[in-house]
Structure 1
Amino acid sequence: MNQDDGHPSYKEIPIRSSQVSINPLVIDEKGNGNYTWEEAILEEWCSGNGTKEEPYVIENIFVDGNDSEYCLIIRNSLKYAQILNSTFQSTHGYSYKEAGLRIINTTNLGIRNNTFLDHYVGGIYCANSSNLNITYNKISNTDSYSLLLNKCIYINVSYNQLFNSNFIGAYLQYTNYSVILCNSFQNLEGAIWLRESNCYNLISKNNIFAKESSFEISLGISIRGNSIFNLIKNNFINFTRNGILVSSQNNMVQSNILTWITLTCIRIEGLNNSINDNQIQGHSGISLLSGSVSNKVFNNSISQSRTSGVYVQGINNTIFNNTIFNNRKEKETYGIRVDYIASNNTIYQNYLLNNSINIRAWNSSNYFSFNGTGNYWDDYHGKDVNDDGHGDTPYNITNHRDELQGQDQYPLFWDPPLIQINTPKHDSVFDENPPKCNFSVLEGTIDKYWYSLANFTHTPLSGSLNFTINESIWETLSDGAFTFTLFANDSKGYIGSDTIKIFKDIRAPSLKIQLPQNNDIFGLTPPNLSLELNEPNVDRFYYFLYNNISQTQKYNISTFPLVLNDSGWSLFFDGPLWLNVTVIDIAGNQNSTEVRILKDITKPQIIILKPSPNAKFGKNSPVFELNIIEPHLEEIWFTINRGSENYTFTEQNTITVWQWLDNGQYNITIYAQDAAGNIGVSKISLYKVSKQNPAISGYYILLIFILLGIFLRICLYKLRFGNIDFTKPKIDMYKVSVIKK
């Protein structure tokens, strides 16, 4: 069977194919038994001469006790002897001394690779003996104990398998300087009990567990009754109700592993015991009950408790340097619980993390720091500005009503350095030159600092708080935004950081003037400026105007579209101008572009060559001949007598509406507009004189109505009296003549 955590493996000696069956017997060197050793060697199952080099050996015997009180008794033996590869079974009795093998007042005996089973009281009983080696034996199905050592000294119990006992595995009383090492205890009521004055014993590397889930060991290891200076070390205890109980003094419980303990992992009721370096997981971690005085609990790892990691009822105990974490099975699972009757206990340098409640105390007469050192509480919300390793404000210890029961004046707390990047600023933009950096340490003291930029991390630096980003790193970066994080650690390795975003921009901005376009013409009003820009990090724009003679100042641009400055525009007369626009990004890269435009503030000049002023025309329109002085002429129109309707000349330069005009004087106003919107005006007066068609006089109109009336009366008469003969007119028709003037 292999053991973990440095526990050696069992090495069983092969049992011979056949064993000699014998009856229960007693070997007593004083002659009060069946044999002395000298007599026993005459039997086939015994050999040797009792020396260290050639001990007496009882080997390969099978003893069935047949419910007697023993199978084999060795008594009053001082010679070297061994019992090997034998089987002892079926004894019965009522005294604790009754067992399969009884060793009494004996020394220098080895009991190795034997099997003990079905004993009503015990498997092996040793009393008043010394220098015994009990190794590699199997002891099972006993009703009281597997092994009992009574008033023994220098006993080695190693690599044995003790299982299926209704009571105790290894029971020691008044036994000193002995070793219980690397044994396996399984399915017992109790594994190892030291009762009544057992001193200076080593209980180490034993494996105590309940193999069957339905079976639970009541108690793993128990140290009681003035048992002192015993070392309980490196044992593995699993699936027991209680792990280790110490109700005596001056013992050491060290480096044990206890898991799945359903009640208390380690329970202390004595004084001056040391409980250290244990790994504990169970219902309740370490309990210092009312009888516990001046014990030291330190360097333990305690987790997964349902009630509390450390429970304190005793007095004058010291609990320090333990890690108490993940005790949160219930809403009110405590890392440390200090009871009403607990007093004068000192609790310091413990680390409490991720517990439901780190600590509750119901007594104010305990101490939560020692010599300026407190505990680490993961729910402490103070600061350690001066980096002395202690919080600057106390940690309050309260009861369930939040009533103050004490304070940790020096809570262990070491926050990382608080640093701040001063330069570069967040969202700063840089060209091909790497940024210069400066930072401040707002809290704490730093040891080294380093930075990451994009996917690069620079090696740690120290000393000055000013540095320049590594040139080779900066050169590898393309244009864009990058995360720059500065890290700084302190002497304990705690790391603080600050992060900003910076930009690299080495490309000139892309710039295009959309409006005005090349050779656009403008008058008194300056043009609107509209740009097409591709640059995320614009710092500023400006523009200026110039021609071959002068240039304006540079005007900053803030909004789009922009109307050019009036004062700058007014500096120039008619003619071509150049509009130059420059954009500069935050990194200092710049680009310029320009467009040629024309300024024209002179009105078109209209000279009327024909017709002459005050000329007279008949029904035919006059033909106009104009001389318009304007290089950018766009439109010509005219009005008649300042009317609201605008007319244009025909292709023959005539006036279409002239023919419908009455005779009279007409004032013709001619307009000419250029591309800049300037309008020139010229006027001329003309007369229309033409013959009129004769008009129909009022007399003739009256005559027409009379004749029409007569005709209608004749028609009505005919309809009434019959046909009328029109061959002979009744009325003479009037003749109307129109006189043309």
Structure 2
Amino acid sequence: MLINGSGSSTCISIEASSAYFIIRNCTLLKASSAGLKISATRNGLIRNNIISNNYGNGIRIDGNSNNNTVVENDLCYNFRGVYFYGAAHHNLIDNNNISYNGHGVLNSWCNDNNITRNILINNGNGTHYEENGIYIVGQNNVVLNNTIINNREHGVHVYGSNNKILKNKIYNSRSNGIFLTLAHQNIVKGNKIYNSSENGIDFDEANFNIIFQNILKNNTDHGVYIIQGAYNLFYNNTFLKNQINARSYGSGFNDWNNSYIGNFWDDYQGKDENDDGVGEEPYYLYGKYGDNYDFLPIWWDAPVISITYPNVNETYENSPYFEISIDEGIADSKWYSIDDGIKNITFTGLAGVINQTEWSNAPEGPIEIIFYANDSRGYIGKSEVVVVKNLTAPEIIINSPSLNQIYGFIAPTFNITIHDLSPINRTWYTIDGGDTNYTFYGTLEQINQTAWTELNDGQVTIQFYANDSLGYLGFTNIKIEKDTTAPIIIITSPNNNDVFETKAPTFQISIDELNLESMWYSLDGGITNITFSELNGVINQSIWYNIHGGDILITFYAQDRPGNIGIESVLVKKRYPPQQQISGYNLFMIIGAILGISIIILKLKKQK
């Protein structure tokens, strides 16, 4: 089911329900507030829907809405993908594609929600300063096993306490991978936070948090940056290739190791002389206060791997070529995995091609290739790169125009959505069966006016194409109508030069037009227009009575849906009726009699 919510606040709204319900296989577009709104409702299942191009939220869950499940949906090109608000607790957001929105998921003052196994890519359109993959405001929420890539502000922003941020892949955030502000007693565990434009994890007035088993790699400013924060515990984290691994300006004390182990720092300058896996010298962090030491830094002299090829986020159809280097240590054996270690493929040398069978069995989408090398002591070094597998042509969704929509002289404007895992190289359309192709950029544009003008009236097929970086071609079309012919009006009555007096004439016309929209007539050249709905009728009596006598041009108009106007006129005459004579007498006879009597009276006077 497709619901175009243009002009409406929501496509679907469910309120005050506790009955179990399912919404599935729907396409919800262009609502001003939310494609789907759930308020004061529980026990709902939202599955396998396409919810996109809504000006507010893709899905809004608010007003004590609990125990709802949102799974396997495609939420793209909305202002927010999913919005929790107003005591919406104990809900599950699982295995959805939440990409290309202003915000990915916003959990505003809601608790105990689980956000798991979602893909959140390229959220943030530049219209709001807080554009995150996931924004948590509340308590006891769980963010688990999500893939969060290339979001405009933060990958995950946490404002609240006792939340758990676990095992997420947070790559290429344009600000911080994870931002903790006024966030206390949270657990951040097992995340991979790579390539943030600022910091891997940023603390601002965040206390008593536990950060462990995370990998913070290649972040531009810092792996961890503490502006304000105290009594946070960091242990068993891995810091790799960050500009500065960690810096603490907080006014309180933080612990960078527990009683047994600290963190792995790739720029550690010490040695593990007794082979117990702990560096002999403390690791010093940048900062102001005396808590800036990891006293039990993890260290071993394992091989250090650099990946030359493939590059991060490159797209492949077949298994990619790889090339690595061992920058430190001597590798005793080497292997890689593309399924998070379920199956390891050994190799020799420093270059090769990823196993095609394993690549063919992997699902489409982001794939993390992990290269490993161990030394003679069994210490293992590893390095990862994320690439994208794509076997599918771009999917083009035509949001407008609609099927069989009618246009006149002005060329239509189209709005489309394109889904693809690979970068789009080129998009174009044709309106003449492919004789002429028109390249366009973006997803909103007007059809070439010159080409539209040259088309004859009738059915027009607009064919859209999209070609991605792997050469896959996606296409779709929409059929519309062109109508630039004005309606043809035939006036049956009145006829030219018909004469009427003070009683308004009747009319009868016929109109040749399939897309007729409206009809009207005028007796004064269009200054005053009188609409009518039937093809026969009577000219407005009041206007007719007050119009001066003589020649009167009655002009009929008909407009079709594209706006073409047909005009036809008839010239009639209006005259006033003659004055009534005195009843029963001839006026000339009366005047003659009066004159005769006057002559007799004059003669009688003279005789006297």
User: Is TM (by shorter chain) over 0.5?
Assistant: no
Which bin holds the TM-score, normalised by the shorter protein? 0.3 to 0.5
Question: Normalising by structure 2, what TM-score?
Answer: 0.41
Question: Normalising by structure 1, what TM-score?
Answer: 0.35
Q: Find the structure with the greater CA-based Rg.
A: 1
